[in-house]
Structure 1
Amino acid sequence: MTNNFNKVELKTQQPLETIDFTQSGELVLSQLGIKSATSLLADSSPWEFAHYMAIKNWLMYKPKLNASNLEQVKHYLKVFHHLCEVEAWETACKLIRLTITNTKELHEQLGIWGYHNEQIEIYSRLLTKLNLDLDCLWLDGLGTAYSYLGKAQIAIDYHEKQLEIARKINNRKAEAQAHGGLGWVYAYCLEKAKEAITHYKEQLKISREIDNRKIEGKSLHGLGYSYNILPPYNYQLSMKYHVDALTVAQEISDKDIEYDALGGIAANYINMGEPYKGIEYIRLQLKIINTSYNHYKYCNTLRNLGTSYILLNDYQNAINSFEEALNLVRKINNKQQEADILASLGTAYIYISKKDYKEAINCFQLALITNSEIGKKSSVGIILINLSYCHGCLKDHQRAIYKSKQAMEIADETGDQQLKALALATLANSYWHQGYIWGHTWGLLLIIRSMLIFPPWKSSNTKLTLKITVRTISKTLKQVFSQNWLKKFWGG
């Protein structure tokens, strides 16, 4: 195919919102720096002419006032794909790199809105078409987009290819970004914190060698997140990295990193069983939400907020937070995040005054499917524990015991002592709800063993387990003392 668009260029990085799309197609093309219709028609093939006319028509498109984010940039994307069809790669590249918000380029903004499939289409079309430095950018985008879609191995493949090319052309910034991408996939998608820490430490080292504070802040946040999920859960070290990330973010006025660091600090306080402090940092996050709006991040904030409400026994507000997050995440089609929120929502249904174990089981089963497919073993273990607890409370003892034992197998495989302790606690719950002296005795022995393995004051999960245990035992004793024969025995 010939390319008569070889002179088509975007002359500036002019924000697209400054272009008046109510004007004629010719004027819009001129504003974008595209050759006039007359000169193009003179030497265009029928194929190119058709695409040029499509470009002209799409540039005259004006979205409705209440249009979705994707509808508002639909015409830009259509123009991009028509430019690709006639192999006008440089122009297409410049178009999707135009800044459409204060700091974000079009292709980046799509990810912030949650349109990862659209990002993949863009990056796939431009890959190998211009130069290796840009290929590193597209590979980074592909890896990130696939990670948000829960396709971890594909994401790893793209980031490893990015790393290989970056080293080949000595692009240190791209090399650091590749390590950050790999760290993210290993930490969030696969919960392989050790591998993630290795990559984040390498990213941190490179960022300081090239004096890139933005990448330094991101790597510090990544390390903080990784230590938060690494057994035996070094929350203090995680907190230190997040505080360091917050310092960097404030020094360079980067709201994205500041938002992430505040969320990391909040998560640590929540995990340590200090929800009031966690909520303080969540409120700080919400103060900057308008200047750094990201659906994925906002959903995580709502999830942290909901978890804090659970620890404060405010279960209805917890459910409200989780449901708001769930409605939003379903709009952006992030299956992994949806699974995490469903698991949290299921937990809230366990604790509300009118226990809804069946609804909780529905949430946990949906979350289990996604996490099993991705291979997040620790998350699968926690979900199995919650399922065991629900089945035990519903007197489905065999199923409850089976789920606890499945969770224990994962704990032994991963070396997660907290998970093992929680599995023993739910196993104790199963035996306790079977009643009789032997069931209560065996349940007490198991809960004592659970607390010896992982003391209840070490995390919010084990604190909740202790609270449930005390409540369950108290309820049983109250029932026992209310029985007529015991009243008669005591002279009641």
Structure 2
Amino acid sequence: MKRVLPSDVSVLEQIGIDLRLLKTIQPSKRSHYRAVANWLTQYRPTNEAINLEQVRGGIEAFHHLCEVRDWLGAKEIINLRCNTPTYEKLHHQLGTWGYQRERILLYERLLGHLEPAWDVIWLDNSGIVYCALGQYQTAIDYHQHSLELAQQMNDRKAQARSLGNLGNALSYSGQYQTALDYHLKVLAIARETKNRPMEATTLGNLGNTYEAMGEYQQAIDYYQNSLAIAKELGDRHEEGRALGNLGSTCEALGRYQKAIDCLQHSLAIARDLEDRSGECSTLESLGTVYEALEQYEQAIAYCKQSLAIANEIGDRAVEGLSLGNLGSLYEILGDYDQAITFAQLSLAVARDIGDPEGEARALGNLGSIYAAQEQYQQAIDCYYNSLIIARTIGDPQGEKRALGDLGGIFYAVGDDDQAIHHYQQSLTIAKTLGDPVSIDSISDNLAIIYYSLGQYEQAAECLRQSSVRKDISARNQSGRSDSTG
């Protein structure tokens, strides 16, 4: 079995430990240095050891060095290159494997004990970890502190890195326009300095923000540019990320086979690189695609795989997504008790980590389950609360979805005026976003209502807006529809 970390005397030399001089060290420190030497040269994980145990020797050595305030040696430990497919430094490798909380412990111990340039790095990485854990405001605080230090040092590259990470955290918390401003600044710096890896990453970040805003074509353009640079550089991690993002956006546009192709390719890369976090999010995305294709058992299988990994690595944002998707799937299958349980767990996660977009999505899922059980007032309450959150954080996609849900529920209870009012607002947003799938669905629903009211010209106009062109007469004979946009 290959060793992930170097385990010979050379690594001791790298951190400044000479075994021949241990006897000259004062006894209170000597035991810690002996422990460092033993952990680095004698520790042997078992063949069945999980990834974290593979690098246990390095982590324990790090903490012993911190106990004797050997900060330089501790820094060298977590910067050791790992014998893994990504050949990352130890602290980054922990993130790839999904051990985010373990990373935080490393950064907390080193903060304030080395030169300011290192504090910028530790603060920035801490922010990345808190973002991965869904604690977005904490992430923003760390990145802002990092940016301030980088500005004081007049370190442009560090400033760009902090700005990009801050943009990501702001985007996750729903502050899209500010996030775009930061990412565009970073993109300008990357192109001016001809930093191609930074350019690829920033293009992907811009795509993420535009996707969150529902501007899918712009997102796709950025993802494709990021993918092209990643392939040019041979950066498989960035390639996998770009493919996963493309898959997610294609799914939102109803291009399901393209979505599956991108996501399966992304999943293969994540597994090759032992990227547990990437594997987790890609599995969740595949579950969403198969749900859209009405292949529910396969969708459930993907979501459960994603949930298991999310729980294992502590990725609460993906945990909330997977729980919500499972709730939706069990609703479709008519298992409402299971559906409500998963939807409520998803809502609890979103509120616990301060994820307003996730909270709005979970409330929408709950509303759908209540509507399916004809508990209409509970459904309306959930949809309105979801709408309020979407408008508060400037999430047009969430706003469009909540308005469409409200249109559907008002039609179900026979309030045609309110149904038309909410559907029209939802349709306006869908057109602004250039979302053809939603335009078709909402126009179709409006046509049904107008036809039932005898307003045939309005019904015909709605059908002209829809590429679906379904036979409205046949559907009208089947009774009132409760479908939503």
- TM-score, normalised via structure 1 length: 0.83
Which residue is equivalent to 2:319? 338
Per the TM alignment, residue 132 of structure 1 is displaced from its structure 2 partner at its CA by 2.0
The counterpart of 1:176, out of the listed 139, 143, 160, is: 160
Question: Residues 140 and 166 of structure 2 are in contact (CA less than 8 Å); yes or no, is this contact kept in structure 1?
Answer: yes
Counterpart mapping for 1:290-305 below 5 A: 290-305=271-286
Report SS of the residue matched to 1:288. helix
Deviates more, 1:413-422 or 1:195-204: 413-422
Deviates more, 1:248-257 or 1:220-229: 248-257
Query: In 2, Cα distance between the equivalents of 1:76 and 1:321?
Result: 34
- Residue 317 of structure 1 is aligned with which of 283, 298, 301? 298
Whether the 8 Å contact between 1:408 and 1:420 is mirrored in structure 2 is: yes
Please provide the CA RMSD for this pair.
Answer: 3.0
Residue of structure 2 equivalent to 1:95: 77
Q: Deviations over 1:152-196 (max 9, x none)?
A: 2221122112112212222222111101110111112x0221121
User: Any gaps of 5 or more consecutive residues in structure 1?
Assistant: 1-14, 22-26, 481-492
Q: Does 1:379 align with 2:379?
A: no
Tell me how far apart the structure 2 counterparts of residues 418 and 105 of structure 1 sit (CA, whole Å).
Answer: 38
Alignment equivalent of 2:150, drawn from 166, 191, 199: 166
Q: CA deviation at 1:454?
A: 4.2
What is the 5 A alignment of 1:145-224? 145-188=129-172, 190-224=173-207
SS at match of 1:306: helix
Q: 1:274 — aligned with what?
A: 255
Structure 1 residues 18 and 327: CA distance shift in structure 2, 3 A: closer
Aligned length: 451
What is residue 349 of structure 1 aligned with on the other side? 330
| Structure 2 length-normalised TM | 0.84
After superposition, the C-alpha distances for 1:207-242 in whole angstroms (9 at most, x for unaligned) are 122221111111100001101111xx2211111111
| Partners of 2:157 and 2:129 in 1: CA distance | 19
Displacement of 1:421: 4.0
The DSSP-based 3-state class of the residue aligned with 1:289 is helix
Contact 1:417 1:453 in 2 (8 A): no
Q: What is aligned with 2:226?
A: 245
Cα pair distance change 1:33/1:340, threshold 3 Å: closer
Structure 2: which 5+ runs fail to align? 449-469, 481-485
Residues 75-109 of structure 1 deviation map (CA, whole Å, 9 limit, x = unaligned) = 11111111111122211111111101352000100
Q: Residue type of the partner of 1:273? A: G
The match for 1:81 among 50, 59, 63 is 63
Paired residues of 1:200 and 1:223 also in contact (CA < 8 A): yes
Asked which structure has the greater CA Rg, the reply is: 1
C-alpha distance in structure 2 between counterparts of 1:260 and 1:417, whole Å: 24
**Which residue in 1 is equivalent to 2:406?**
427
Percentage of pairs with the same residue: 31
Q: What's the CA shift for 1:442?
A: 5.8
Structure 2 partner of 1:227: 210
Q: Which has the higher contact order (CA 8 A, sep 6+)?
A: 2
Distance 1:400 1:30, change over 3 A: closer
Corresponding residue number in structure 2 for 1:67: 49
Match of 2:237 in 1: 256
Residue of structure 2 in register with 1:362 after alignment: 341
Asked if the contact 1:454/1:462 (under 8 Å) is kept, the reply is: no
Instruction: Identify if the C-alpha distance between structure 1 residues 467 and 363 changes in structure 2 by more than 3 Å, giving closer, same or farther.
Output: farther
Name whichever of 354-363 and 389-398 sits farther off: 354-363
Q: What pairs up with 1:389-404 in 2 under 5 angstroms?
A: 389-404=368-383
Q: 2: CA distance between counterparts of 1:411 and 1:286?
A: 31
